[in-house]
Structure 1
């Protein structure tokens, strides 16, 4: 039996907990959030502890962590908490929903692939990646560490998505295109050209915005 502590109490964490509850061999034993966001002692009938004090309640040799599942601050919050947890000696889970079809060559740790996704052969999914429902990752595609792919995203074959990218719902990346580190693909954009690091594109024509993705940290 794997005993999990989930990071987060918001809608994304609640959705993940719903799916995990139906899986044999998994038991959610608690939740954690940053101390500034902890407003109660329990969540969903389980202990809710401050991230800063996690070892006092759930030491690394007793539990496995999973999450956060947020794309806040262009995925850098999730990146930071994952790396902090590793440095503190915690193991991280991965979950591939059984209703998805997944043939990836590699899936990193702390990865979430929700229901109705298709991940084709020879693709590589990095560490700390979220792939939400009904998303397709094509053959030989690469998804970098700390990325978030929302629902109904299409990543075509041989595409290369750099670390910390955010692809919002119903966006697409054409075959063999490279998306630079920390880029944001928004509002139904379909990208048919390579993008430099920190790009922001939006709309069906994937218009390149004049500001870097760092400007989105307070919004996304």
Structure 2
């Protein structure tokens, strides 16, 4: 497995929930030491997060030099991951190497190819012959089957099922409990809503939304005998 594995200390970009989770996972399930957080100056509100200093991004390299520290960009899927992708490029332009985290509580195999600034949470099963690009987040409990290719800047929410030989185009979002049949290709910037079932390849810039459950029209206490 590759993808920015290192023991160098870390600066996390962001102070939101994902940044706090990244701090916790890196601290408790990696050899990394998180040294600080950083945000754009326009979003600077507090000078500490999780008990560590927060610096404006335009000055972070004066205290945490890229020759000594790596960075992880902990932003979500806004604009189909475009915001996170842009910040990764900015961090690299400042000389930072981007860290990748793969949970020790996920199942992976030695041939896994994975890029930089990836975040693979616990409970995922990633089978052999999988390639994961740069800046990919896979939330907990998903199945990534054999010979799957996930391009750069994607976000896969919890409990997705991605069958064998699927290719996921860049900047795609796969919602909670979405299911992809085998041997299909998702075009770039495909959005799959929660519970979506996709059985054929998709074009670029398409969205698939599963129907929401409807209220049964019967009071819940009348159905309690079924529980």
TM-score, reference length from structure 2: 0.86
What's the CA shift string for 1:107-141, capped at 9, x where partnerless? Answer: 11111111000111001000111011101111000
Counterpart of 1:185 in structure 2 is 192
Counterpart of 1:102 in structure 2 is 108
Counterpart of 1:17 in structure 2 is 23
Q: Of 43, 57, 60, which aligns to 1:54?
A: 60
Greater strand share, 1 or 2?
Answer: 1
Equivalent positions of 1:1-220 (< 5 A) are 1-23=7-29, 25-103=31-109, 104-203=111-210
- How many residues matched? 205
Greater C-alpha Rg: 2
Counterpart Cα distance in 2 of 1:142 and 1:156? 11
Structure 1 residue 143: Cα displacement? 0.4
Segments of 5+ residues of structure 1 without an aligned counterpart are: 206-220
What's the CA shift string for 1:57-85, capped at 9, x where partnerless? Answer: 22211210012241112100111011111
Counterpart Cα distance in 2 of 1:161 and 1:61? 34
Structure 1 residue 170: Cα displacement? 1.0
Structure 1 residue 177: Cα displacement? 1.0
Counterpart Cα distance in 2 of 1:46 and 1:118? 33
Counterpart Cα distance in 1 of 2:54 and 2:157? 27
Contact 1:190 1:204 in 2 (8 A): no
Q: 1:24 to 1:102 in 2, by over 3 A?
A: closer
Q: 1:119 to 1:204 in 2, by over 3 A?
A: farther
Structure 1 residue 37: Cα displacement? 1.4
What's the CA shift string for 1:12-43, capped at 9, x where partnerless? Answer: 12122222221352111000112221101111
Segments of 5+ residues of structure 2 without an aligned counterpart are: 1-6, 213-227
